[in-house]
Amino acid sequence: MKNIQEKRLQFTSGEIDKATYIRDMYNNFHSKLFDYSFYLQNTNIKRIEIEDQSLIMTTRNRGIKIICESGDFRIAPIEILNFIDYELEDSNMMENLFSDGDTFFDIGANIGWYAINMAISKLASTIYCFEPIPKTFRSLINNININGLLNVKPYNFGFSSRSGDFNFYYYPEGSGNASSANLTGRNDVQSVKCKVLTLDEFSAKNGAKVDFIKCDVEGAELMVFQGGAETILRDKPIVFSEILRKWSAKFHYDPNDIFKMFTQFGYQAFTAAGGRLKPFSRMNELTLETNFFFLHGEKHSRLIDEFSL
């Protein structure tokens, strides 16, 4: 089927008559607007705005605006259209565990979904965002600005076990899969050189105490934690991290190395289930969970008692 521009050209060139053009435009394109108006009521997207070369989606629960990039079909608003909401179980647990007024580090912030949600729900908190991909960082800035947020501090670099300039790889329809390893091996992958620091360097330079870390860096999580070991041991933040076997393999480490590291730091690992924290010990080939919470056994004992199954 021709796209809307091509259909318009068919009419202006005389290839189809006016009546056919009007019918085709409505049936193939305009009617979809009405389809969405009914579909949205069952999702966490309340509004879709179409502007000149721009599409903005607004969430139902908080009125958060996200500017959607054409071609990226894995960003949070599109995921919500597909699956009603986005990582709701983990998001709710994060908000339960994070206290207003504390400091939140979003490492691998992407377009800012988690950071913006946290900034709006915890107005007294300071939210630090770290996103190394320049194009994605521009989207992050635009989303922060369109929501009028003053408690978010964005930085255009990533974290690892050492500082430097690293090649990062991403593809247009999945900006959230950007990584310092070529995860997909696809021919159309794009690469860009990005600045990388260690969490310990940043913390020492800025004097920032961290209370909660969200880390989603597509396989490089272990290196982030290794480069932030002093900060983690000092501040004992709650940590929420994505950990996937297939991605850690690209960086040549066992994902259980992360669990071992946090155990040595005095932490306990959990997954979120039914609004509770479910204890977790070790990943194996049968593990389905991919998102994990790490709470310090002593510092977060009250939260562990309150939310544990």
Q: Where are the domains of the chain?
A: 1-39, 88-307
Query: Facing residues of 127 across strands?
Result: 104, 152
- CB 239 within 8 Å of CB 131: no
Helices 134-146 + 113-121 axis angle, to 10? 30
Q: What is the pLDDT of residues 72-110, one digit of tens each?
A: 888 999 999 999 999 999 999 999 999 999 999 999 999
Tell me the average pLDDT across 106-119: 96
* CATH for the 88-307 domain, from 2.40.50.1070, 3.40.640.10, 3.40.190.10, 3.40.50.150: 3.40.50.150
CA nearest neighbour of 197 among 158, 153, 228 = 158
Type and span of the H or E element at 199: helix 199-206
pTM of the predicted model, to two decimals?
A: 0.92
Q: What is the pLDDT of residues 225-240, one digit of tens each?
A: 999 999 999 999 999 9
C-alpha triplet 73, 122, 132: angle, nearest 5°:
45
- C-alpha–C-alpha distance, residues 75 and 114, integer Å: 12
Q: What is the largest CA-CA distance in the chain?
A: 76
φ/ψ region of 84 (left if φ > 0, alpha if ψ in -120 to 50, else beta) reads left
CA nearest neighbour of 215 among 187, 243, 188, 193 = 243
Q: Is the pLDDT reported for residue 69 higher than 80?
A: yes
